[in-house]
Structure 1
């Protein structure tokens, strides 16, 4: 089975039921959206900032887009890129690409003009679908981008260098194209996050996509009555494949634009959301707002909310302890994964294992795991080594990068580049990125462990630990600390607090500043290393 068959099944069985809702509360606050824009797809006429489509309309729109692409020469095995913000059209466009037998290639919406061109050429895309926010970036390299490619524009005011989505699909059939697709066909190319260098193109078969969908539904027991709240960007494997649990179940999902605590809780309350995937900063913001009483739980209907899960980065145990104080009845799960493993879930904690908070968990549905040393030998339990995973969601390759593929794919095992250990109960704990390990005075320091300790300080909102060159030690641990709003934290205070760690683990320097994170919540450590090179490092006495 392939994921397009699930969409067609839902259209037949649940055609008149709501599949997707789009909420735009931040747009409402800024009054930037017109009625004309919102009438492109069915909207709730009482609220132009809320739009919805049924399963049958979802499938019909995917079919129209697929048939349009075919009429313009796109064939099985071609590649079609998407660069759009989350919206109600995103998933029908994605599924329309898949229905042609072409390969869907989502682009990070943060890419600049040169990155868009680089990724388009690396992935050899044959068409690019983009929306109004990206006109300028496309236009900068338009002559190179449209050479041998279709440029398809979604929105009002189609630029002269592109073709209009609405005009192209207007007369296209709403019936599914007659194209045979199997699990062994190539299905999608995703790009590495870029936090460790320029993006690499990651090729996946349809087998990876259906594996991710079925695994998500199984891990979180998504049922027909569940409502999934999706906030992160759909170009990323995490958001899309967590949503695919709803696809398998045939249940509603809500696409929310906005990450403020009050916006998230309001959406959960009004849309009766039962499953919510948060990134660490958003969960932290909700807790801080509850702590300072700018949010009050009694103002929202949250009794139906059963599961909060987190992925994309290590989760501080202290955060979950605080969360359970406010939400004692919540189920909890954390998911580990990479774009190379079709996103989150190759390792997951499991809703029944909240007593193991701090672990990334156990092998996910149909996955295997092992930890190896630098010679590829499996280490004994309790020892740190590189985490490797194996299963039906492993990528085919880094597209057009044979050398990088050989480095991380060995005998079907994906070498993740993450350092981990396994405890006596079989649970895996993430220690750090292999490239982020700090070797200081001959000792291996794992920044995640130091960060977890510093986060226990009640004044710390966020923290990142990096290694910088040191003449005597080789490298030294430097902690960048973001202090909670309205609080102050001195150098003396944090230095004294860190005395609770073994001496060799204590940071040698502290910087008080904001922590940059990418769109999926990961700390951008290469950016921090560039910002705070040894010649720029200045101790800051206070921030308040």
Structure 2
């Protein structure tokens, strides 16, 4: 525990908390299927919902994470907040079953992250897309000098919680060529990441979220809950030991999400010829323009490949002729400049119907779990938070 002089006024010191506590083990029997914890959805598409998880759910999170990333007693996981979410914390769980260390970070500034890895000799770290982007930008601008840190022991960086732009990982591997990399996919409803993962041996498939994780199954379904043909997009459904019991005291939402033992993720995906799953987009974020379905992630990934662009979000705004107009919100890297004409020229490589009709230079808001807050962008630029459909 920390020094008393640094304790905030609202907190209780750990030593005081333990005073008078009983040393006798409680005689309360606990079953693996007993209720264990409430976690919350990230609220990207609406109000955050509490999720009821069991001891079995949490146990499986430890097992699946360790199976995927091979933690040993010598590993040290650097855990970035928030801890109320299942993202980074459930990756930390892989350390539990081998008695490995973990370090909790106070924030996500690039220099804090690298300093913690260097000083604490961290070997594994889970990042979100914006945090990885910030580190690369800080290195590119000279704000951070890698020679100031001891990073040789840092063996694995993995990312999840949102679609991962392939260009980001390509640039990351240029800076950290000896590191292993993995993409992880999961939801709070699946007790965090791990129901699908790329696998450190599959770097040739960066951009894909991978294949079903240890002890997980999947399906890709159409609106009638029928399996789609390989290569066609549909909603990703998963089944495994990590699936939640329910949305806490919300039977209506639970019934919509848990269907015949399968958890409907709300994410659109497709499977390639090698059996790797690719996220297409959130079902609620699809743009319908001129009768064509547009998946914003495809355009966002393309925009981020530009060396001047740090982040990008694509939404649909109402259009009398097209139904929705593809609109790109672009955040430039510090010191970089682009005009609307520059972006339009760059986007000529896209099919005509996917090219943004409106281009806005602005910050791209992301929530604490790194996901783009598209309801905020729709509210700001279209006047409403929900995805627009005629």
The bucket for the TM-score relative to the shorter chain is over 0.9
**Does structure 2 conserve the Cα–Cα contact (< 8 Å) formed by 1:469 and 1:534?**
no
- 1:174 and 1:516 mapped to 2: Cα distance? 48
- 2:144 and 2:79 mapped to 1: Cα distance? 21
Instruction: Mark the structure with the bigger radius of gyration.
Output: 1
Query: Shift of residue 175 of structure 1?
Result: 4.2
Partner SS for 1:489: coil
Matching residue of 1:453: 302
- 2:351 and 2:196 mapped to 1: Cα distance? 30
Matching residue of 1:154: 11
Matching residue of 2:376: 527
Query: Shift of residue 218 of structure 1?
Result: 1.1
**Does structure 2 conserve the Cα–Cα contact (< 8 Å) formed by 1:228 and 1:252?**
yes
- 1:449 and 1:339 mapped to 2: Cα distance? 24
Matching residue of 1:348: 197
Query: Shift of residue 167 of structure 1?
Result: 5.6
1:142-165 deviation line (CA, Å, top 9, x unaligned):
xxxxxxxxxxx6348xxxxxxxx8
2:136 pairs with 1:303: no
Query: Shift of residue 36 of structure 1?
Result: 2.4
Matching residue of 1:185: 34
Map of 1:205-284 to 2, 5 A cutoff? 205-284=54-133
2:210 pairs with 1:361: yes
Map of 1:426-437 to 2, 5 A cutoff? 426-437=275-286
Q: Structure 2 stretches of 5 or more lacking a match?
A: 385-390
Query: Shift of residue 489 of structure 1?
Result: 1.1
Partner SS for 2:365: coil
Partner SS for 1:472: coil
1:39-96 deviation line (CA, Å, top 9, x unaligned):
x7xxxxxxxxxxxxxxxxxxxxxxxxxxxxxxxxxxxxxxxxxxxxxxxxxxxxxxxx
Matching residue of 1:332: 181
- Name the CA shift for 1:488/1:213 in 2 (closer, same or farther; >3 Å): same
- 2:370 and 2:20 mapped to 1: Cα distance? 41
**Does structure 2 conserve the Cα–Cα contact (< 8 Å) formed by 1:311 and 1:334?**
yes
Matching residue of 1:380: 229
Partner SS for 1:154: coil
TM-score (norm 2): 0.95
- Match for residue 4 of structure 2 among 25, 30, 36: 36
- 1:200 and 1:255 mapped to 2: Cα distance? 25
- 1:175 and 1:337 mapped to 2: Cα distance? 38
Partner SS for 1:223: coil
**Greater mean alpha carbon deviation, residues 264-273 or residues 353-362:** 264-273
Query: Shift of residue 523 of structure 1?
Result: 0.7
- 2:348 and 2:205 mapped to 1: Cα distance? 26
**Does structure 1 conserve the Cα–Cα contact (< 8 Å) formed by 2:41 and 2:85?**
no
Matching residue of 2:49: 200
Matching residue of 1:515: 364
TM-score (norm 1): 0.68
Partner SS for 2:382: coil
1:97-145 deviation line (CA, Å, top 9, x unaligned):
xxxxxxxxxxxxxxxxxxxxxxxxxxxxxxxxxx86xxxxxxxxxxxxx
Query: Shift of residue 258 of structure 1?
Result: 2.3
- 1:407 and 1:252 mapped to 2: Cα distance? 39
**Does structure 1 conserve the Cα–Cα contact (< 8 Å) formed by 2:81 and 2:107?**
no
**Does structure 1 conserve the Cα–Cα contact (< 8 Å) formed by 2:280 and 2:298?**
yes
RMSD: 1.7
- Match for residue 492 of structure 1 among 317, 323, 341: 341
- 1:170 and 1:324 mapped to 2: Cα distance? 50
Query: Shift of residue 237 of structure 1?
Result: 0.7
- 1:322 and 1:240 mapped to 2: Cα distance? 26
- 2:17 and 2:121 mapped to 1: Cα distance? 37
1:209-257 deviation line (CA, Å, top 9, x unaligned):
1011111111110100001101121111112211111111201111111
Partner SS for 1:249: coil
- 2:153 and 2:38 mapped to 1: Cα distance? 36
Larger relative CO (CA 8 A, sep 6+): 1 or 2?
2
Partner SS for 1:294: coil
Higher helix share: 1
Aligned residues, how many? 384
- Match for residue 287 of structure 2 among 422, 438, 442: 438
